[in-house]
A and B are shown apart, each in its own frame.
Chain A
Amino acid sequence: AQTVTQSQPEMSVQEAETVTLSCTYDTSESDYYLFWYKQPPSRQMILVIRQEAYKQQNATENRFSVNFQKAAKSFSLKISDSQLGDAAMYFCAYRWGGSEKLVFGKGTKLTVNP
């Protein structure tokens, strides 16, 4: 079964600093996609960044980047120059290429301190 594990229930960071959120996954598939979703308090989940498994280059979206280690089945999210608006629940998710469903981790609650 495909599983996603986020080992950090909560993290905190000082404004303008960098933080890394961890995610590992377990799959025997070779065709899959990985995602990080952000859920601000009382708001819907929005996509932060995504990665295709066949691409070796790590995805980057402005201050957000990933460290994708395929052999280790690791997909961590780095947030640079953290801002107060980055405070949210962050979910790592996996999707096999032959399936519709997203498989989520339990989430990491990120607090940004001014």
Chain B
Amino acid sequence: EPEVTQTPSHQVTQMGQEVILRCVPISNHLYFYWYRQILGQKVEFLVSFYNNEISEKSEIFDDQFSVERPDGSNFTLKIRSTKLEDSAMYFCASGQDRGYNEQFFGPGTRLTVL
């Protein structure tokens, strides 16, 4: 069964460094998402992406964040200058459609900012 994959599983970085988190969505999906979960807190929506542009974003998704689908298979989240509070689990998800349809989640990337 097709799955969303994410790399790396764990990323450690220094404050102020740029990081790129990578995701490979399910191949026939058209909608792509990033969520994050700070330890002990709720899973929070960051951004959705459709037709090569951001379709919705949360107030968390400020100018230090960007997303890209550089080719037909990858979907990336870039954090330009990481802060301590960016330490979290980042989940990628993809879906065939919106609304009632399921979002399929990846296993997550644990980002630790030192």
Chain A residues with CB under 8 Å of chain B are 4, 33, 35, 37, 42-47, 50, 52, 91, 95, 97, 99-107
Contacts and interface: CB of A to CB of B under 8 A. Distances in A.
B6 to A, nearest CB: 9
B48 interface: yes
B95 to A, nearest CB: 9
Interface stretch (B39-47, B62-70, B80-88): B39-47
B102 A50 contact: yes
A100 B48 contact: yes
Contacts of A97: 99
A47 to B, nearest CB: 5
B56 to A, nearest CB: 4
A107 B56 CA distance: 24
A45 B35 CA distance: 12
Contacts of B41: 106
Nearest to A99: B56
A51 to B, nearest CB: 9
Interface in B24-76: 31, 33, 35, 41-45, 48, 50, 55-56, 58
B102 A102 contact: no
Given A101-B45, A101-B48, A104-B42, A44 B100 contact: no
Contacts of A52: 100
Contacts of B42: 4, 104-107
A33 B102 CA distance: 11
Contacts of A91: 43
User: Which residue among A42, A101, A103 has the maximum number of chain B CB atoms within 10 Å of its CB?
Assistant: A101
A4 B44 CA distance: 12
Contact of A33 (B35, B50, B58, B99): B99
